[in-house]
Amino acid sequence: MKSNRRQVLGWMAAGAVACPTCLSLGVSHAAETGHDAVHWDYKGEGAPERWGSLESRFRVCDLGLEQSPIDLQRSLRAEVGAVRPFFRPTRLRVLNNGHTVQVNADEGSYSDIVGQRYDLLQFHFHHPSEHLLDGESFPLEIHFVHRSAAGQLAVLGVFFRQGAANDELAKVFDAMPSQETPERDAGMQVDPLGMLPAARGYLRYMGSLTTPPCSQGVLWTVFREPLEASSSQIQQFSEIFPLNARPIQPLNTRFLLENS
């Protein structure tokens, strides 16, 4: 049993998980870079509890045992290695896809996660936070979506609590479309590093996309330290998306690791 546990901990630290479904998804974290033939939503007929029955390829939303988001609690301390983001300022290429506001990243930004390079594809927002931290919800959560050369997806998650305004967040929110639109160039740059905490303590687990098709095999790294956003910034986003967070999913037999 101890040997099996060591093997699993090493596997999670390295993120060395094949993800055939992820390879077929292209660049998206969830279906958030395009439109699905089947309408899904956060309420009504397309609400999360119905996702698995909307279309056959969404069945893992109901049947998968490694779904996201989760409540980040009762973690195991482990040597899971460093997470080093190497983000560059990127053109503010922003879109509203009907489910969130998303910024598509220029080439060149990436994160080194335990020695593996994952290129930054895009980042987007959820209100309220999708993950909980020891049972606590936050008004905003940002997901930095990455992909390795082998096609594995990795996501860095950051919480925002109410406080001082965030300058980089202001650029995105001032340019974000209030209605569903294709990508447009806002004519300025945004620095993703300004939306990452200085302290890099994090929690790590294997999970899924948090929207249909809910594909599993996604390497999640969620930073423990929240950043701050002003009440007006939170309101800006919540007026467009009053609710775009999937409910908490069971951890089941997975390990939740915390870097020591």
**What is the pTM assigned to this prediction?**
0.89
pLDDT of residue 231: 98
What's the pLDDT at 9? 47
Superfamily grouping for domain 2-259: Alpha carbonic anhydrase (3.10.200.10)
pLDDT, residue 41, reads 97
pLDDT of residue 60: 98
Q: Report mean pLDDT in 10-residue bins for the chain, 260 residues.
A: 45 45 38 55 96 96 98 95 96 98 98 97 98 98 98 98 98 97 98 96 98 98 98 98 98 94
DSSP for the chain, written as a single string: -HHHHHHHHHHHHHT----HHHHHTTT-STTTTS--SS---SSGGG-GGGHHHH-GGGTHHHH-SS-S--EE-SPEEE----EEEE---EEEEEEE-SS-EEEEPPTT-EEEETTEEEEEEEEEEESS-SSEETTB--SEEEEEEEEETT--EEEEEEEEEESS--HHHHHHHHH--SS-EEEEEEEEEE-GGGGS-SS--EEEEEEE-SSTT--EEEEEEEESS-EEE-HHHHHHHHHH-S---PPP---TT---EEE-
